[in-house]
Amino acid sequence: MFEDYFRLAFRNLKHRGVRSWLTLLGIFIGITAVISLISLGNGLQVAIGSQFGLSETELISVQAGGLNFGPPGSSIADSLTMDDLEAIGRLSSVKQVTRRNLESGQLEFNDKVIFGFSINVQDGDERKFLYDQLGIETISGRLLKDGDMKKVVLGYNFYSNGVGLDKEVRVGNKVLIQGEKFEVVGLLDKQGSFIYDNIVMLNEKDMQDLFSYGDTVDIIAVLPRDKNNLEGTKEDIEKLLRERRDVDFGKEDFEVSTPESSLDQVNGILNGVKIFIAIVASISILIGAIGIINTMTTSVLERRKEIGIMKAIGARNENIFFQFFIESSLLGLMGGIAGALFGTALGFLGTLVINSFIGTDVRPAISFSLIFFSLLGSFLLGGLAGISPAMKAAREDPVEALRG
């Protein structure tokens, strides 16, 4: 009997006009939003994460200022100094500290000037530490080494001409940084982070000569003695800095972040986006449900005569109810299917875009259970919306209904 309802419902839906399909827009948009967002979720997470330099999985970074989403070192609170760095280095839970300064400056090549960030590279152990932690490799040439003077290593976008210069930079080219001539000795492979793909790496001595930042430190990168004790180390550093900078707990003018807390930040942003999309989706779906109620009510009125005929030739009230109920459910399901298809396509497309922009190899998260439940949900929603119209249809008096 139920397959008969489905068969009948399909026949009726097939003969429906554009108007009925338009009422599905709500459900369509809702399901599209949910499915595309979830399948994009992985991509978004990696994309946002990479902009924070999350590849440094075991490092704690310390910087002045509160939480900020600008480039590291751009905050305006009292800077950290070499004294701070040394003090942190003396903590028993800390294995190694290294100084990072990021300076914004200008670079000229081929008569074009661009602005960007340069990062300093320390000599000796700290150089190895930085290279290891960032996991950087060159696509061409070599990395900086101790004793290099007036030599520079540039990020991938200089190699691929993605920074706004008119010409690709190659090993051996000369560039002007803050007006000083430097020789390019290496170009980095793609990192998938706009900071590192646009980076200008200079040895500490050259950086100091160009920017004269003296004693100040933008970021102190800390390697804990025990990598399982990130939180404990973080607390030690916070306690030390509160004393040194004379601030109360909860009023810190510095930020000590572990990879986890950075990840939390990323997830916070992502969750914000998710909540927003969820609200949009809920509203769309609600509108969709109202649309279905509307179109089904109209349909019951238009097909009064048909209801009368059905009753005359032996349809019980529940036969009529189920026919309209199933039809409404299917209407909802159609919206869901369209949304799931379009949402999945958007997820793939979006991931593709993210991959091509930041050079990652993220796969869209296609969750079959999500699709299944979305479809089930839209089917049930359609049914729910159809209950009242279907009851109205079932209660029609056969004699009245036959008059049309």
Largest CA-CA distance found in the chain, in angstroms, rounded? 101
Smallest gap from residue 389 Cβ to another protein (A): 17
DSSP-derived secondary structure letter, 78: P
Q: Which of 113, 312, 352, 376 binds another protein (CB under 8 A)?
A: 312
Residues 362-401 that bind another protein (CB under 8 A): 398-399
Whichever of 333 and 401 has its CB closer to another protein, that residue is 401
Alpha helices in 185-229 (DSSP H): 194-197, 204-211
Q: Are 240 and 88 in contact (CB under 8 A)?
A: yes
Number of residues forming the site for another protein (CB under 8 A): 24
By CB under 8 A, name the one of 19, 145, 167, 316 that touches another protein.
Answer: 316
Check residue 78 for interaction with another protein (CB under 8 A).
no
Report, in Å, the least distance between residue 382 CB and another protein: 19
CA distance 283 to 25: 12
Residue with Cβ nearer another protein (20 or 32): 20
Segment near another protein (CB under 8 A); pick from 102-110, 185-193, 204-212, 309-317: 309-317
In whole angstroms, what is the distance from residue 264 CA to residue 181 CA? 42
Shortest separation between residue 383's beta carbon and another protein, angstroms: 21
Contact string 331-350 vs another protein (x = CB under 8 A): --------------------
Distance between CA 370 and CA 38 in Å, rounded?
A: 9
Determine what percent of the chain falls in helix, strand and coil, rounding each to the nearest 5.
55, 15, 25
d(CA 292, CA 149): 72
**Nearest distance from C-beta of residue 328 to another protein, angstroms:** 16
**Site for another protein (CB under 8 A): which residue of 18, 212, 313, 368?**
313
296 binding another protein? (CB under 8 A): no
Q: Is 19 an interacting residue with respect to another protein (CB under 8 A)?
A: no
What is d(CA 23, CA 290) in angstroms, rounded to the nearest whole number? 9
Three-class secondary structure of residue 138 per DSSP: strand
